[in-house]
């Protein structure tokens, strides 16, 4: 029985597995798979190809599919089952066709089923719904869960209208929708009075939003350019105007429908400021400080160009719905970059407050300058004010604390200047306590005059692309973090609505950044903190966002004249506060919340960004992320489980005698379930486990003949891991074992990787290294090899583990014993050979004991001989004494009852034959449906029968096959509808039926026989349930 599992409730695509090479065209025991994920593998491989072997037929062996393995399994239906001395000689390797029956002896199912003899039968599906016409595909038995197709509806199709409406074009649909909106618009339009009331109601929230924008402008816009450099010392007003333009553009884009958050606030990314300083300093160094106009023009164009590039990246990610890819970047690396920004802000605050030329350098001269009395006060007073504000935040939770504190500092400073006679605002500007007043009160759009296109050095602009890409990369990481956080804080994403659509927000950010860059401004994004405060202050519609944009534009139009009245300590306090919060988030809040290696990574990133620059910090962060992944992946156990063949068995309905033998010899099969990526850091663990399994002490206890590596849980493999498979192959071949790799596709990248590394570089390895589509097929193939060896052993064939290509079928020798080491006959001869019953071994002219000295030369051979001898001795029984061979179905019944019944008395089971009726079923005919048809037992004589078992309570389905010389059906009715089984003939099949009426007569006429049959059915059900359960447990 080959099997597959499927589940309901998922929309997946059906994938068809390629058949194995030289596989027969007739399908057997297919598996239904609508897998949501194919077995694609990621692989980093070299261009290695085996050289020097062009003269050999070297290539990847065929991947054994379920149907190709099951084709061979049908040939072993009678191996190990006692044959009578009647001389019945079924040809091995062929499915015997049903013989023509006499008059009235059999009913052909192609014309009518046996149920037509008088038993009621439920209506069957039409021929188009038959098993043979269903689209089936193969997948790993263990993890192949697929959607079960719904049965075709029998309801008639709706009649088409007499006059079908012609299809509308896109423009027609657009205008139709526009007419509907226009028709409904007047009803939804509020009155002027209502609109005025809403505007007045939004005044507090808008005031708070404008105040936050002003504070951000003083914090971010004022330090957009490195003011400590002589070339940029007068660029404060330009930075403020560019900040306001970017803020207004983003606010309008988000509020007019771009964002799902109706009241979100857009503003400049503070994280981009260090990159702005790096680009400005690099351009200044390249052009020289004397060429001030070219430096400013090139710098401001570079900043605007970087905003356009950022917008394109945002837009492409949103357009192609790639927002989830950003989540793959490790969060602790981003936290380290945030900490680096915090460190930069603290240093920038010191530079701005102390008015140090050229920026801070870590040397003694800078330290002496910072310790001068006046300079010391200038950078420590804002630091003290920031410390007071941090302490106040611990006791006051109001969102108005920071704005109120900054306003109070601003008012106190000017009150102090006015109160002290010796002080004046001019003196404060000269000593550096207040920003210098602008020479000319230009308009807010004065920064556009700095775009002098003729003197822009475009090569320098392009030379800044590495920094621009690093800036863009860092900015992209914020959106997938801020958007879900804002959705949870505002309650918009509580029910999983579109408010948390990251791709939509990425597209909105792309539009806002591209527009901002085209208008000569800089990057922007949706600010989490400001948005939460704005919404909680009462902003609950897009109108509030538009009002905020208008109010911010009014502040911008007021011009930069206000800069000459802003105390430096106010800006310093805000920048210190931002730097402190980011450093605290990165270095303090993560203590005890991340692993030591991750925390060390955060510290290294912060130090690198502070000591070198931001681009280097990001590169170090990415490298550390790679190291983190390697360390973490290498620490995971790649071997999920190791199972013996005693428990890992295929779901094949075999004869109980075969199951008994396979249980004895199953210890020679070892299954390694692999999970996780196989790469240079994890392949060593697998090799270590395999070597331990092949160690001398373990080999003596449990010798292995078949080593199965199931890669169903392996998403990828690299070249180093593929080389590890070669070492495992060598270890297996040295022990004379087979290496089987399961859960692969014929054209998968993983198979290509193994081929490229030379796993089959020696043509002689092709027989010992096999590929299988699923684990169940590999286990079934191993069991077939054991049965082939049993037949060869019973016939006195050559040594089982001798050198050379192992047999692929049952090579049966003639009665005249051949020499040890004789090469087995070809598979073509196997198809015309005849099998000799094991019970007649002693009558064949030789005894198993003659081979014990040879077969016992190794632990594996000794274990096999022990299992085979037990099977042979258990099969010996008294043969039928009748001179003429008995007619069917008695021989069939006696074969099936071996290993199941307490008694194999011919007189006992001969009494069952009158109750049986022979039926022949054509392909694709339904034989029995549990729950729909009356109970019946079926004794399979010839053919192949598929069945499908569905578990309604588990939403699973199981597809399997029943081989000849087996029994299926029910002897008593089941009142549970949790499980339904439908049996269908895959090929022309001959079965002997014990129908419900006959079961009733048997129970009344012969209670002893009925009880024996009931015991057999119970044992058979328990046996098959154990087989299915063990396989599922191993495969899960």
Mean pLDDT value across residues 684-712: 89
Determine the pLDDT at residue 21.
33
Determine the pLDDT at residue 441.
58
pLDDT category of residue 350 using cuts at 50, 70 and 90:
very high
- Expressed in angstroms, the distance from the first to the final Cα of the chain is 19
Flag whether 61 is in a domain. no
pLDDT tens across 575-595, in order?
898 889 889 989 999 999 988
Higher model confidence: residue 685 or residue 69?
A: 685
DSSP helix/strand/coil, 913 = helix
Please check whether residue 31 is in contact with residue 961, taking contact to mean a CB–CB distance below 8 angstroms: no
pLDDT tens across 450-494, in order?
999 999 999 999 999 999 998 888 788 778 777 876 776 677 644
Flag whether 265 is in a domain. yes
Mean pLDDT value across residues 39-54: 34
Are 861 and 943 in the same domain? Answer: no
pLDDT over 90 (residue 1028): no
pLDDT tens across 269-292, in order?
777 888 999 999 999 999 998 899
Higher model confidence: residue 29 or residue 231?
A: 231
Flag whether 998 is in a domain. yes
SS (H, E, C) 497-522: CHHHCHHHHHHHHHHHHHHHHHCCCC
* 885 Cβ contact partners less than 8 Å away, ≥ 6 residues apart: 84, 85, 86, 87, 88, 891
Are 924 and 995 in the same domain? Answer: yes
Determine the pLDDT at residue 868.
64
pLDDT tens across 299-325, in order?
999 999 999 999 999 999 998 988 777
pLDDT over 60 (residue 976): yes
Are 393 and 500 in the same domain? Answer: yes
Q: Where are the alpha helices (DSSP H) in 958-1006?
A: 996-1005
From 815, 842, 875, the end of a domain falls on 875
pLDDT tens across 116-158, in order?
333 444 333 333 343 333 333 333 333 333 333 444 333 343 4
Please check whether residue 281 is in contact with residue 229, taking contact to mean a CB–CB distance below 8 angstroms: yes
List the one residue out of 500, 486, 497, 501 whose CA is nearest residue 535.
Answer: 486
Percent of the chain with pLDDT over 90: 25
Which H/E stretch holds residue 56? none
Q: Give the position of tokens 């590039």.
A: 309
Mean pLDDT value across residues 676-686: 86
List the one residue out of 212, 537, 532 whose CA is nearest residue 402.
Answer: 212
Are 710 and 825 in the same domain? Answer: yes
Determine the pLDDT at residue 952.
72
Distances in whole angstroms, Cα of residue 937 to Cα of each of 329, 918, 928, 970, 1012: 60, 12, 9, 6, 14
Convert 768-790 to b/e letters by CB count within 10 Å (16 or more is b).
bbbbbbbbbbbbbbbbbbbbbbb
Flag whether 542 is in a domain. yes
Are 590 and 736 in the same domain? Answer: no
* 108 Cβ contact partners less than 8 Å away, ≥ 6 residues apart: 920, 922
Determine the pLDDT at residue 588.
93
Q: What CATH number is given to the structural domain containing 933?
A: 2.60.120.10
431 token code pair: 């000593």
Are 340 and 218 in the same domain? Answer: yes
854 token code pair: 């040879």
Are 815 and 916 in the same domain? Answer: no
Determine the pLDDT at residue 867.
67
Determine the pLDDT at residue 872.
54
Which range among 262-266, 293-297, 529-533, 600-604 shows the weakest confidence by mean pLDDT? 529-533
Q: Give the position of tokens 């602008």.
A: 438
User: What does the alpha-carbon distance between residue 849 and residue 856 come to, in Å, rounded to a whole number?
Assistant: 11
List the one residue out of 45, 74, 149 whose CA is nearest residue 758.
Answer: 45
Are 734 and 860 in the same domain? Answer: yes
Convert 853-888 to b/e letters by CB count within 10 Å (16 or more is b).
eebeebebbebbbebbeebbebbeeebbeeeeebeb
From 875, 906, 932, the end of a domain falls on 875
User: What does the alpha-carbon distance between residue 173 and residue 160 come to, in Å, rounded to a whole number?
Assistant: 22
* 83 Cβ contact partners less than 8 Å away, ≥ 6 residues apart: 837, 839, 840, 895
Are 248 and 348 in the same domain? Answer: yes
Determine the pLDDT at residue 209.
86
Please check whether residue 321 is in contact with residue 498, taking contact to mean a CB–CB distance below 8 angstroms: no
Are 953 and 864 in the same domain? Answer: no
Flag whether 680 is in a domain. yes
From 850, 875, 900, the end of a domain falls on 875
Mean pLDDT value across residues 735-762: 87
Please check whether residue 675 is in contact with residue 638, taking contact to mean a CB–CB distance below 8 angstroms: yes
pLDDT category of residue 431 using cuts at 50, 70 and 90:
confident
Question: For residue 78, is it left (φ>0), alpha (ψ between -120 and 50) or beta?
Answer: alpha
Are 518 and 463 in the same domain? Answer: yes
Mean pLDDT value across residues 712-727: 88
Determine the pLDDT at residue 599.
92
pLDDT tens across 781-825, in order?
998 888 888 877 777 643 444 433 343 333 333 333 333 333 343
Flag whether 153 is in a domain. no
pLDDT tens across 857-893, in order?
567 776 666 666 665 554 444 333 433 457 888 989 9
pLDDT category of residue 626 using cuts at 50, 70 and 90:
confident
Determine the pLDDT at residue 51.
40
Please check whether residue 963 is in contact with residue 654, taking contact to mean a CB–CB distance below 8 angstroms: yes
616 token code pair: 């280097």
Higher model confidence: residue 5 or residue 355?
A: 355
Determine the pLDDT at residue 915.
93
Q: What CATH number is given to the structural domain containing 738?
A: 3.30.750.24
Are 101 and 126 in the same domain? Answer: yes
Q: Looking at the 3D structure of the chain, how many domains does it have?
A: 3
Q: Is the pTM of this model over 0.85?
A: no
- 122 lies in which domain range? 82-141+888-1035
pLDDT tens across 502-540, in order?
889 999 999 999 999 999 999 999 988 788 878 877 888
Flag whether 401 is in a domain. yes
What average pLDDT does the chain have?
75
Flag whether 409 is in a domain. yes
Other C-beta atoms within 10 Å of 53: how many?
14
Strands lying side by side in the sheet with 107-108? 107-108, 917-921, 989-994, 937-942, 967-969
CA within 13 Å, CB half, 838: 29
pLDDT category of residue 951 using cuts at 50, 70 and 90:
confident
């Amino acid at each position: 029985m080959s099997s597959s599992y499927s589940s309901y409730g998922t929309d997946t695509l059906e994938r068809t597995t390629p058949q194995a090479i030289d596989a027969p065209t007739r399908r057997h025991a297919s598996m239904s798979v609508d897998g949501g994920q194919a077995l694609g593998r990621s692989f980093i491989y070299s261009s290695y190809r085996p050289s020097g072997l062009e003269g050999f037929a070297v290539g990847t062996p065929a991947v054994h599919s379920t149907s190709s393995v099951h084709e061979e399994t049908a040939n072993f239906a009678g191996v190990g089952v006692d044959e009578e001395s009647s001389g019945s000689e079924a040809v091995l390797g062929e499915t015997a066709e049903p013989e023509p029956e006499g008059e009235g002896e059999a009913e052909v199912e192609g014309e009518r089923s046996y149920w037509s003899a008088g038993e009621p039968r439920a209506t069957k599906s039409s021929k188009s719904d038959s098993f043979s016409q269903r689209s089936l595909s193969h997948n790993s038995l263990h993890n192949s869960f697929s959607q079960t197709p719904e049965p075709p509806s029998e309801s008639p199709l709706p009649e088409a209208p007499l006059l079908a409406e012609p299809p509308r074009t896109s423009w027609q649909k657009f205008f139709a929708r526009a007419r509907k909106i226009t028709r409904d618009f007047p009803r939804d339009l509020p009155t002027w009075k209502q609109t005025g009331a809403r505007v007045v109601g939004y005044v507090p929230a808008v005031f708070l939003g404008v105040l936050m924008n002003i504070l951000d402008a003083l914090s971010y816009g004022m330090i957009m350019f490195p003011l400590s450099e002589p070339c940029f010392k007068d660029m404060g007003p330009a930075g403020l105007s560019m900040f306001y333009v970017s803020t207004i553009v983003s606010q309008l884009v988000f509020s007019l429908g771009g964002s799902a958050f109706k009241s979100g606030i857009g503003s400049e990314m503070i994280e981009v400021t260090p990159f702005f300083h790096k680009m400005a300093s690099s351009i200044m160094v390249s052009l020289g400080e004397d060429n001030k106009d070219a430096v400013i023009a090139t710098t401001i164009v570079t900043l605007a160009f970087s905003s356009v590039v950022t917008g394109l990246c945002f837009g492409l990610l949103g357009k192609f719905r790639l927002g989830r890819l950003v989540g793959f970047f490790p969060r602790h690396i981003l936290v380290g970059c945030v900490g680096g920004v915090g460190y930069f802000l603290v240093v920038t605050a010191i530079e701005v407050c102390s008015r140090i030329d050229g920026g801070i350098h870590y040397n003694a001269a800078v330290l002496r300058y910072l310790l001068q009395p006046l300079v010391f006060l200038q950078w420590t007073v804002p630091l003290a004010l920031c410390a007071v504000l941090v302490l106040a935040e611990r006791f006051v939770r109001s969102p108005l604390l920071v704005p109120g504190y900054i306003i109070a500092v601003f008012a106190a400073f000017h009150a102090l200047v006015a109160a002290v006679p010796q002080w004046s605002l001019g003196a404060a500007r000269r000593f550096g306590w207040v920003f210098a007043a602008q020479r000319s009160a230009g308009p807010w759009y004065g920064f556009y005059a700095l775009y002098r296109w003729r003197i822009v050095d475009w090569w320098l602009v392009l030379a800044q692309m590495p920094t621009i890409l690093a800036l863009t990369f860092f900015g992209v990481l914020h959106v997938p973090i801020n958007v879900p956080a804002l959705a949870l804080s505002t309650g918009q994403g509580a029910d999983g609505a579109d408010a948390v659509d990251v791709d939509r927000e990425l597209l909105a950010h792309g539009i806002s950044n591209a527009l901002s860059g085209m208008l000569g401004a800089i990057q922007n994004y949706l600010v989490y903190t400001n948005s939460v405060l704005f919404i909680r202050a009462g902003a609950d519609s897009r109108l509030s966002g538009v009002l905020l944009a208008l109010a911010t534009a009014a502040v911008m139009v007021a011009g930069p004249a206000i800069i000459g009245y802003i105390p430096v300590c106010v800006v310093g306090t805000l920048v210190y506060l931002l730097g402190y919060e980011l450093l605290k988030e990165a270095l303090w809040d993560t203590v005890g919340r991340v692993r030591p290696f991750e925390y060390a990574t955060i510290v290294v990133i912060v130090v690198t960004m502070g000591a070198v620059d931001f681009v280097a910090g990001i590169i170090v962060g990415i490298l550390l992320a790679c190291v983190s992944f390697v360390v973490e992946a290498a620490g995971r156990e790649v071997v999920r489980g190791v199972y013996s063949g005693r428990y890992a068995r295929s779901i094949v309905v075999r004869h109980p005698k075969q199951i008994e033998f396979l249980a004895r010899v199953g210890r020679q099969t070892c299954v390694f379930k692999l999970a996780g990526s196989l790469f240079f850091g994890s392949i060593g663990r697998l090799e270590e486990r395999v070597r331990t399994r092949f160690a001398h002490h373990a080999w003596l206890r449990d010798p292995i003949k078949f080593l199965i590596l199931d890669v169903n849980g392996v998403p990828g493999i690299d070249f180093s891991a593929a080389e590890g498979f070669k070492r495992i192959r060598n270890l297996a071949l040295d022990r004379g074992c087979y290496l089987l790799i399961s859960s692969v596709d014929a054209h998968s990248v993983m198979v290509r990787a193994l081929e490229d590394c030379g796993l089959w570089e020696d043509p002689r390895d092709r027989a010992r290294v096999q590929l299988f589509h699923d684990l169940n097929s590999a286990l079934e193939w191993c069991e077939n090899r054991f049965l082939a060896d049993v037949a060869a052993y019973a016939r006195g064939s050559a040594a089982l583990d001798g050198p050379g290509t192992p047999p692929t079928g049952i090579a049966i020798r003639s009665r005249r014993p051949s020499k040890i080491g004789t090469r087995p006959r070809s598979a073509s001869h196997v198809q015309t050979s005849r099998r000799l019953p094991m019970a007649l071994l002693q009558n064949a002219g030789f005894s198993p004991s003659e081979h014990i000295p040879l077969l016992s030369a190794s632990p594996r051979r000794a274990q096999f001989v022990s299992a085979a001898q037990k099977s042979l001795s258990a099969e010996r029984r008294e043969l039928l004494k009748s001179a003429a061979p008995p007619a069917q179905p008695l021989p069939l019944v006696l074969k099936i009852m071996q290993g199941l019944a307490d008694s194999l008395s011919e007189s006992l089971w001969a009494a069952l034959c009158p109750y049986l009726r022979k039926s022949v079923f054509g392909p694709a005919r339904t034989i029995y449906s549990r729950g729909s048809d009356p109970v019946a037992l079926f004794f399979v004589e010839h053919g192949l029968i598929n069945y499908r078992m569905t578990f309604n309570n588990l939403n699973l389905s199981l597809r399997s096959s029943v081989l000849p010389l087996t029994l299926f059906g029910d002897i008593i009715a089941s009142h549970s509808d949790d499980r339904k089984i439908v049996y269908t003939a895959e090929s022309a099949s001959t079965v002997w039926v014990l129908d419900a009426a006959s079961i009733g007569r048997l129970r009344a006429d012969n209670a002893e026989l009925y009880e024996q049959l009931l015991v057999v059915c119970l044992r058979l059900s328990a046996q098959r349930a154990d087989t299915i359960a063990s396989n599922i447990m191993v495969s899960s």
